């Protein structure tokens, strides 16, 4: 009998990579911050989906949320840019290299206040990116001022009441052209995972508004972005199953209660309905239920809208398949005869 103990085989994904290859640096955010849970989900999703980490590019603006790309996927290039401008930087990078898998992590101040203009135009363009808004209704890094997603009547720890209405990013996103729009809660591990995997598979712009409580400045009674408020008011519109294209599993489908959406890459999104007559491919219906939830104070979560057919921005530009960034001179510099011809025309 041998005395050597064989260590259990290391768990790897379809690329043969361990989850370690998807980890980031140590977080510097507050203990218990919802953003840290989101980083964990991002790591799990890229690992489980078997996306090559070196193919990913991470982007952010400025704020607590925008620090988080440093806390996942160390093997991916990252760009922590300027406040509210991650849409432009990420769009530019995707123009340069269409083979990148782009993920943007922003916050409510970054996206909905200073960056609202850029955000709206990114929606129009349907740039193929996963755009996450870590939404806590306050500016954490400047110590707890209201942002534009804070609900009317929400109360700060200091007693200050928000007297302006909130901007609902999901409504804006559906209206202006994003092709996958979801809302989730940082504490809802299973739903968030399924949503993020769908975003990674989606060939267009995905917007995910994730309510992510700020434990330091906005997790008290009177806040509508606290853990306790979300536990009481989160209302999933469906249960989500995401089946990546490479998985060969069959799931029982209950007739009439489950809707399937085939994603561009062949993956399947399965949405099991929870008591509502709701079709996330119906734009008007999606807008309606979000408005209805506003009136009852509920926070609807799930994939609120999906269009898996619309052409994305890079396809519209009709660029060559290779990344523009690394095209050879022979493709980027016209020949001598071209210059001669132009000069002749100008004589």
For other proteins, the binding residues (CB under 8 A) are 21, 52-55, 57, 59, 69-70, 74-82, 85, 87-97, 99-100, 117-118, 120-121, 317-321, 323-327, 329, 331-334, 336, 338-339, 342-343, 346-347
Least gap, CB of 47 to other proteins (angstroms): 15
Dihedral angle sign, alpha carbons of residues 311, 15, 50, 250: positive
Q: What whole-number distance in Å separates Cα of residue 192 and Cα of residue 198?
A: 10
Bridge partners for 101 per DSSP: 56
**Residue 80 vs 258, nearer CB to other proteins:** 80
Shortest spacing between CB 94 and other proteins, in angstroms: 8
Q: For residues 248 and 344, which CB has a smaller minimum distance to other proteins in the complex?
A: 344
Of 93 and 138, CB closest to other proteins: 93
Of residues 120 and 287, the one with the C-beta less far from other proteins: 120
Nearer to other proteins, 78 or 222 (CB): 78
Q: In angstroms, give the least distance from the CB of 136 to other proteins.
A: 21
Give the shortest CB-119-to-other proteins separation in angstroms: 10
- As given in the structure block, the two tokens for residue 296 are 């009852």
Nearer CB in complex with other proteins: 152/327: 327
CB 301 within 8 A of CB 276: no
Tell which residue, 9, 45, 16, has the closest CA to residue 190: 45
State the minimum distance, in angstroms, from the CB of residue 130 to other proteins.
15
Q: What are phi and psi of 196, to 5 degrees?
A: -65, -35
Contact criterion met (CB below 8 Å) for 146 and 156: yes
CB under 8 Å to 169, separation ≥6 — which residues?
Answer: 108, 111, 112, 119, 133, 135, 149, 207, 209
Tell me how far, at minimum, the Cβ of 243 lies from other proteins, in Å.
27
Q: Is the dihedral of CA 26, 27, 32, 37 positive or negative?
A: negative
Q: How many CB atoms lie within 10 A of CB 80?
A: 17
């Amino acid at each position: 009998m041998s005395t050597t103990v064989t260590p259990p085989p290391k768990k790897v994904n379809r690329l043969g990579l361990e989850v370690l290859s998807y980890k980031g640096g140590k977080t510097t955010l507050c203990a218990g911050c919802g953003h840290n849970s989101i980083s964990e989900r991002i790591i799990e999703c890229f690992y489980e989906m078997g996306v090559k980490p070196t193919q990913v590019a991470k982007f952010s603006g400025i704020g607590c949320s925008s620090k988080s790309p440093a806390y996942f996927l160390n093997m991916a290039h990252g760009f922590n840019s300027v406040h509210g401008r991650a849409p432009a930087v990420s769009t530019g990078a995707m123009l340069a290299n269409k083979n990148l898998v782009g993920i943007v992590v922003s916050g409510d101040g970054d996206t909905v206040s200073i960056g609202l203009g850029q955000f709206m135009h990114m929606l129009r363009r349907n740039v193929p990116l996963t755009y996450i808004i870590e939404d806590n209704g306050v500016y954490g890094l400047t110590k707890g001022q209201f942002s534009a997603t804070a609900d009317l009547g929400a109360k700060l720890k200091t007693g200050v009441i928000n007297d302006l209405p909130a901007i609902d990013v999901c409504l804006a996103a559906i209206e202006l052209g994003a092709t996958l729009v979801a809302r989730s809660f940082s504490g809802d591990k299973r739903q968030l995972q399924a949503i993020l995997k769908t975003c990674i598979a989606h060939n267009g712009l995905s917007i995910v508004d994730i309510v992510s409580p700020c434990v330091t400045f906005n997790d008290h009674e009177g806040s509508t972005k606290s853990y306790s408020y979300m536990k009481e008011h989160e209302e999933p519109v469906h249960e989500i199953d995401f089946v990546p294209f490479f998985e060969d599993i069959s799931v029982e489908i209950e007739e009439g209660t489950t809707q399937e959406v085939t994603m561009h890459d062949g993956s399947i999104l399965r949405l099991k309905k929870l008591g509502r007559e709701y079709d996330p491919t119906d734009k008007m219906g999606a807008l309606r239920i979000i408005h209805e939830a506003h009136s009852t104070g509920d926070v609807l979560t799930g994939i609120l809208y999906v269009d898996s057919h619309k052409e994305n921005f890079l396809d519209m530009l009709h660029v060559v398949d290779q990344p523009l960034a690394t095209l050879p001179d022979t493709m980027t510099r016209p020949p001598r005869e071209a210059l001669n011809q132009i000069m002749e025309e100008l004589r």
